[in-house]
């Protein structure tokens, strides 16, 4: 497909379990973002990958959250020891990165709805 | 602290009339603003943007207005159509990496 894909679309887990969320960006997009949207909140920035540079992890809410991007393409967001407050829709976006650190339009995936019981 | 705010969680408009969605921001360093549209079970899609060097940008039925002194922007949709029913987010990029999004306004266009 031509768009950003995410899997799974829905994930229900028990408190304390680990979860992995996957994002396949648009081919050729070097920038990849993770966001989450909790109920009644806006999109909250989590982490940003750009090519081979060190990721910007400044938005990760705790050390239970981590993400990696293998081969500059697929990304996995891992949440360890999930808590009920982690319940949210997790959105991935990719974009072309422009010169000089400027950004281009982000294309979002459909999201993964995570529910922690 | 919400740097981009959308104070109206929902809006209902009759088909054919104008829809006005509002957004306020607190950081005077923001120099670019975007509107995204989101349908249920889909990710947000880019709709229209505006640079701080402009006060208006128009694209078909969609116009975004920027009032820098008031730190306020608005999205006008005219005429509104039922297919415009969606959640609209305003956003501002900062430092090239982080994007600040509002909480969204759910627009319902009544046929």
- 8 Å CB contact of A42 and B98: no
pLDDT tens series, chain B, 111 aa:
678 999 999 999 999 999 999 999 999 888 889 999 999 888 999 999 999 899 999 999 999 999 999 999 999 999 999 999 999 999 998 775 678 899 999 999 999
- How close does chain A come to B15, measured CA to CA in Å? 26
What long-range pairs does B108-111 form, CB within 8 A, spacing at least 24?
A: B108/B10, B108/B11, B108/B12, B108/B13, B109/B12, B109/B13, B109/B14, B109/B15, B109/B19, B109/B80, B109/B81, B109/B82, B109/B83, B109/B84, B109/B85, B110/B12, B110/B13, B110/B14, B110/B15, B110/B82, B111/B15, B111/B82
What is the spatial distance between Cα A89 and Cα B95, in angstroms, rounded to a whole number?
25
Cβ distance A109 to B41 less than 8 Å, yes or no, reads: no
Least CB–CB distance from B46: residue in A45, A59, A105 = A105
d(CA A47, CA B97): 9
| Yes or no, beta carbons of A42 and B45 under 8 Å apart | no
Q: Which of B4, B42, B46 is closest, CB to CB, to A42?
A: B4
Cα distance from A18 to chain B (closest Cα, Å)? 24
Interface of A with B in 44-103 (CB under 8 A): 44-45, 48, 50, 56, 58-59, 91, 93, 101-103
pLDDT digits (tens, 9 = 90+) for A39-79: 878 888 899 998 888 888 888 999 999 999 988 789 999 99
Residue A99 has a pLDDT of: 59
């Amino acid at each position: 497909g031509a768009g950003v894909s995410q899997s799974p679309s829905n994930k229900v887990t028990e408190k304390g379990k680990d979860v992995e969320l996957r994002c396949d960006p648009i081919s050729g997009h070097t920038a990849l973002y993770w966001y989450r949207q909790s109920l009644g909140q806006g999109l909250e920035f989590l982490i940003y990958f750009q090519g081979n540079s060190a990721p910007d992890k400044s938005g990760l809410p705790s050390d239970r959250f981590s993400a990696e991007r293998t081969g500059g393409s697929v990304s996995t967001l891992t949440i360890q020891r999930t808590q009920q407050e982690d319940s949210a829709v997790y959105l991935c976006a990719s974009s072309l990165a422009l010169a000089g650190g400027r950004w281009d339009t982000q294309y979002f995936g459909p999201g993964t709805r995570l529910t922690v019981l | 602290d919400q740097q981009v705010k959308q104070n109206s969680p929902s809006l209902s408009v009759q088909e054919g009339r104008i829809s006005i969605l509002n957004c306020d921001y607190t950081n005077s360093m923001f120099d670019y603003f975007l509107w995204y549209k989101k349908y249920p079970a889909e990710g947000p899609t880019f709709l229209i943007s505006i640079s701080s060097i402009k006060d208006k940008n128009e694209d078909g039925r969609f116009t975004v207005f920027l009032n820098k002194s008031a730190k306020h922007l608005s999205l006008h949709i005219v005429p509104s159509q039922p297919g415009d029913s969606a959640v609209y987010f305003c956003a501002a990029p900062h430092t090239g990496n982080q994007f600040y999004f509002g909480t969204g306004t759910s627009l319902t266009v009544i046929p």
